Chain A
């Protein structure tokens, strides 16, 4: 099976997982869900690292990659921390 087709299999099956997992999320946590998925989509940082860290590339790609790493890092750090802040608010009244 060609690699692109394998990728398509993985993609479609992941869509099903997403579908079932997300319907279970309680409506009161929809804002934290958006913040968390936002942080998780910071996974593009992996792509950014691969672009930036390739040895022997022209500086243009490295600089583009640097900005991609920077933006994705804002997402990863900002997203997880703000989600944590919100969830702490939901948790603290469990007396």
Chain B
């Protein structure tokens, strides 16, 4: 392969970094987003080609094999994955970045050791790369397990958890320092192992419904892992990209925490939330003085309405009900009803989860409205239809200072003339808090799976065509 000079390579890296920044900038609007993705692809190609053409790389066999195998696996996964499984896929991909960072650091250590180029600063940077990468890896594996339902989504809590984490963290850093000072391979190995364990113990206590924060946080970690690798290799492109990704994830975590009115500290260490037992919905509801309604009742109010606002939540994703939502929207729009979708920032299992599912179902993004914008509209809506969402519509967050979720911004669904909630059971949301909305006079619960109920609604509407 033709060789390029170090300076030419540096210029290519600069171009690549600029392309990545412009790519992220492209995501400010759906119309420019796709171009943004292409810019990032171009940036990646330039970076890889410039690296391969550099004088440092002299053998290509293993590289080609790795890219070929990885490329095929990545392509197949990306083409086959269902949109509802995006959170799992993202968690899995984060774990790969983490592991790659660990491997790069260890490989660099071996290479530099062979060349006698090790020094304290370098070994400190290597340790940082390994620790962050390892935590990203095992944390993401746990997050994947929880999202995939392989591990219970409940917060796993035990006594002395914080103490254990603190001790693990101190020990990890202790071995890192020892490694940097003495070049001890044993310390390196123990440090790596402890960091893997730490990632596991940090994420296991966090409940399924806090996943939007966790996915964002691991996204951030994967960026810091790349940045640490950049420090080790004295590679500015990795540092720039790592910082961009790290900050992106950090900001998303912050946005998610604000949307729950909780501090990041509280999410990471709080282990808040209980999981109640699922009982028989209708019987429980009658006991608690909640009205339940049939599909026909909901349709009666919706078909002659002027405006219906649909509030999707995780239940819609689980039931894969987004396509029947689209049909419901079309049926209602054919009757002159204005239909909008109201999105709470933490609805679902990752930031923007609902938007992607609604986009997949071909629901125009003009009909999909963020919380702050839609809230004033509930008072003029005839029907608010809550599909598998819970805490994000609980009025207690606004007016009950004793409620654990008090202060969390919520959707004002209760202000609509009629509220219908599609729900599988009376189980409370992740916070374990009773939803006061259900006891309001204007609210009725339609029990059933989100997809079954919404398909039932669509069929009912088709049957009663005007």
List residues of chain A with CB under 8 Å of any chain B CB.
3-4, 7, 10-12, 14-15, 17-19, 21-55, 57-58, 60-94
Contacts and interface: CB of A to CB of B under 8 A. Distances in A.
SS of A interface (majority): helix
Interface stretch (B166-174, B358-366, B393-401): B358-366
Chain B contact residues (Cβ within 8 angstroms of A): what range? 35 or more
Interface in B124-165: none
A34 B111 CA distance: 33
B107 interface: yes
Interface stretch (B20-28, B290-298, B453-461): B20-28
B69 A70 contact: yes
Interface of B: 20-21, 23-25, 27-31, 33-34, 36-37, 40-41, 43-44, 47-48, 51-52, 56-60, 62-63, 65-67, 69-71, 73-75, 77-79, 81, 83, 86, 89-90, 93-94, 96-97, 99-101, 103-104, 106-108, 110-111, 114, 121, 215-216, 219, 222-223, 225-227, 229-249, 251-252, 255, 343, 345, 350-353, 355-356, 359-360, 362-365, 368, 370
Contacts of B103: 48, 51, 64-65, 67-68, 71
B111 A46 contact: no
22 contacts: A3-B234, A7-B236, A14-B242, A26-B28, A27-B355, A31-B355, A33-B252, A37-B219, A44-B97, A44-B238, A46-B48, A48-B104, A50-B235, A54-B56, A69-B62, A72-B70, A74-B71, A77-B71, A77-B74, A79-B93, A82-B81, A87-B37
Nearest to B102: A68
A12 B114 CA distance: 32
A26 B352 CA distance: 9
B422 to A, nearest CB: 23
Given A48-B66, A70-B70, A28 B44 contact: no
B30 A47 contact: no
Nearest to A35: B90
A34 B243 contact: no
Given A26-B28, A76-B74, A83-B37, A46 B237 contact: yes
Contacts of A63: 62
Given A17-B243, A40-B241, A81-B75, 16 more contacts: A14-B244, A25-B24, A30-B352, A30-B355, A33-B248, A34-B248, A36-B27, A44-B104, A47-B229, A54-B57, A64-B107, A66-B62, A69-B63, A74-B93, A81-B74, A86-B86
A49 B57 contact: yes
Contacts of B227: 11
B39 to A, nearest CB: 10
Contacts of A55: 58-59
A50 B114 CA distance: 15
Contacts of B110: 57-58, 60-61, 64
Contact of A15 (B52, B235, B247): B247
Task: Please indicate which of the listed interface residues A26, A76, A94 has the most CB atoms of chain B within 10 Å of its own CB.
Answer: A76
Contacts of A25: 24, 27-28
A77 to B, nearest CB: 3
Given A46-B238, A66-B66, A71 B111 contact: no
A27 B351 CA distance: 8
A95 to B, nearest CB: 8
Contact of B86 (A31, A47, A54, A84): A31
A34 B30 CA distance: 15
A91 B97 contact: no
Given A7-B231, A75-B96, A57 B239 contact: no
A50 B37 contact: no
Given A34-B351, A69-B66, A72-B70, A24 B25 contact: yes
